[in-house]
Amino acid sequence: MAAPNPGLLAAMLKAQRLNGVLRWKVTFTESGFKGETNLAAWSGIWIETSAVKSTQDFVDVVANQTSNPTLVGSSLAQLIETIISGVEPAGNTCIGWSGWQDLLKTDPQAALEIAEALDLACQERSAVVIVCDSVGSFPGISELSQG
């Protein structure tokens, strides 16, 4: 299990070096990830999507994990608008996405569409999605090195 260098994510966020959706082959814990985003003074959102097998599963799981149960059954666009743009207007947002491997294995097209929709939203705002976990590859998104 590859753990990130302590403080590295916070430093990259503070320096505004990250934007969009990036694959980082490190394993964060939710508390470790939140600690890094707090250190950088960014809004941190942790999503864990193990066993998710479709876009709608993704929407429903993330809606519940982000305390937005009214978004269950909504579209991917509505979910992304709420979790990225719905955070403090002037704030920066970093999402840690763990457990994405089941979705990628079951429906690689849905996984890529989710990543592309997240990337588009991130480009419009100061936001980044870190697709983490030390295991697996996520074709179609840029790799981030440990530094």
- Two structure tokens written together for 108: 């690689």
Name the pTM for this structure.
0.92
Given the candidates 3.40.1440.60, 3.30.370.10, 3.30.1330.10, 3.40.50.300, the CATH classification of the domain at 8-142 is: 3.30.370.10
DSSP conformational letter for 43: E
Q: For residue range 11-39, what is the model confidence (pLDDT) as tens digits?
A: 999 998 888 999 999 999 999 999 999 99
Q: Phi-psi region for residue 143, left (φ > 0), alpha (ψ -120 to 50) or beta?
A: beta
User: Each residue of 71-105: pLDDT tens digit?
Assistant: 999 999 999 999 987 655 557 999 999 999 999 99
**Average pLDDT, rounded, for the chain:** 91
Q: Is residue 20 a contact partner of residue 140, using CB atoms and an 8 Å limit? A: no
Q: Report the percent of the chain where pLDDT is more than 90.
A: 78
72 backbone dihedrals φ, ψ, rounded to 5°: -60, 130
